[in-house]
A and B are shown apart, each in its own frame.
Chain A
Amino acid sequence: MTWQGLELVAWGIPWTLAVTAGAFLLGAALGVPLCAMHVSRSRVLHGLAVALIVALRSIPPIVWLFLLYFGVGSGYLKVGAVQAAVVALGLITAANMAEIYRGALRSIHPGQWDAAQALGLPVRSELVDVIVPQVFRVTLPSAATYIIGLLKDSAIASTIGVAEITYLANFLSRKQFNESLTIFAFAGMLYILISLPLAALARLADGRLRARVAQ
């Protein structure tokens, strides 16, 4: 495999990162209202959230992707490949993040709500100052694990022509049959190289937060 080959596959890194980050940000944001609906007292909102979460989690990511890109995208709406990948993975992420938030919310001692309310804190402060920072802390390790999974899932964007790592590796291996092993091994190594600092960063952040409260 030539340097040019390596370079070509490495050009996929920005797109892999963009799809992963875009989908995660979208999902982390949409997960908040979805979780709020799930824990809401309204039966309708709760039911809707449960249905959405089940649908988003049961259908394979690649089917969502095709549904958006070929289904919705070919009809009324023009959807680009990158947008389709970000939205498809982002929606699935929203369902998973909603469940992660909900678990974290349940792990908050009920006395925290009691104390915030007994002090007469405004609702906004109760959430922003008291509950959310604690939920965030509990969420951090699961979110980090999820991002690493998402990074790998972003490879399905290659199926609709997003020029990320897997797409370029595939493209190159078709031109250089006998090099396929090296090319895909290199692609795999790139995924490892991206995951490692992500995992380290998450551990560092988690450790920092823990160390701070133990002061």
Chain B
Amino acid sequence: MVRQAGAETIVKVSGLGKFFGAHKVLDGVDFGMGVGEVLAIIGPSGSGKSTLLRCLNQLEPHSEGVIDICGSRIAADAPLSRRDLNELRRRAGMVFQSFNLFPHMSVLRNVSLPQERVLGRKRAEADERSRALLDRVGLGAKADQYPARCSGGQQQRIAIARALALDPKIMLFDEPTSALDPEIGLEVLAVMQELAEGGMTMIVVTHEMHFAETVSDRVLLMAEGKILEEGPSVEVMRNPKTPRAQRFLQAVMNR
């Protein structure tokens, strides 16, 4: 699917580096993306995909370079104040591999609480929006249950609704289906595909090669903290240029 790549840039990363102690896990990462684009990040585990995503919303402060995202500029030596940080995080929703729903709150509360605390919505207004979003991900009937009673696929769809409830400008997905059985993963991928078709800007770290090839506009292939290949999805997936990328794609395609 080819989308009109928006003239407007929403993410621009230059010279991004990240150290954990003496270990450099991101090294000279550069990329940009426009509004409405869907970017897939693939690569072997340990290559720094999660860390890259976590730098984008500053769950991990980066060590080098500049990140421009949703109108915030974050330089490594000029971290955001907690206030600006929260503003950035409101605009950049994140979905985790392990769902991370709040287990002591009902499904409805999980989706409504952030709206009340972050956007200052009234309870009734937040609940109304939550129910609409839960309906949209096919879980309207689960609103009053607790997360423990929901399957993994349902929990992940609830987590997506929770993030969407803050009206983000971009959604960051970190291997959203890796903890799920393949069939269950499909129901989550379907929700994500619908989001993409609705024009949401998305960065998706994934091992789902089919999703990367068919839903995303562009693919970044990472290895050892660097971007190895970048380009239109089909091109990167079908005709990788570097031997390292060829090896990786061969291995995952034959799985």
Contact = CB atoms under 8 A, between A and B. Distances in A.
Contact of B59 (A114, A129, A137): A114
Nearest to A126: B117
A55 B94 CA distance: 44
Chain A at the B interface: SS class: helix
A59 interface: no
Interface residues of B, number: 34
Contact of A119 (B99, B103, B114, B148): B114
Contact of A120 (B86, B144, B148): B86
Interface in A112-138: 112, 114-115, 117-123, 125, 129-130, 133-134, 137
A214 interface: yes
A19 to B, nearest CB: 33
A129 B148 contact: no
Interface of B: 57, 59, 82, 85-90, 93-94, 96, 98-104, 106, 113-114, 117-118, 144-149, 159, 162-163, 166
A130 B147 CA distance: 14
Interface residues of A, number: 22
A109 interface: yes
Nearest to A118: B94
Interface of A: 109, 111-112, 114-115, 117-123, 125, 129-130, 133-134, 137, 212-215
Given A120-B90, A213-B104, 6 more contacts: A109-B100, A114-B94, A115-B100, A115-B159, A120-B85, A129-B113
Contacts of A117: 59, 89
A214 B87 contact: no
A118 B54 CA distance: 9
Pairs of residues from A and B, 6 with the lowest C-beta to C-beta distance, nearest first: A120-B89, A115-B100, A111-B100, A120-B86, A118-B94, A125-B117
B96 A115 contact: yes
Contacts of A122: 86, 117-118
29 contacts: A109-B98, A111-B98, A111-B100, A112-B100, A112-B102, A114-B59, A115-B96, A117-B59, A118-B57, A119-B89, A119-B93, A119-B114, A119-B162, A120-B86, A120-B87, A120-B89, A120-B90, A120-B166, A122-B117, A123-B82, A129-B113, A130-B102, A133-B104, A134-B104, A213-B103, A213-B104, A213-B147, A214-B146, A215-B145
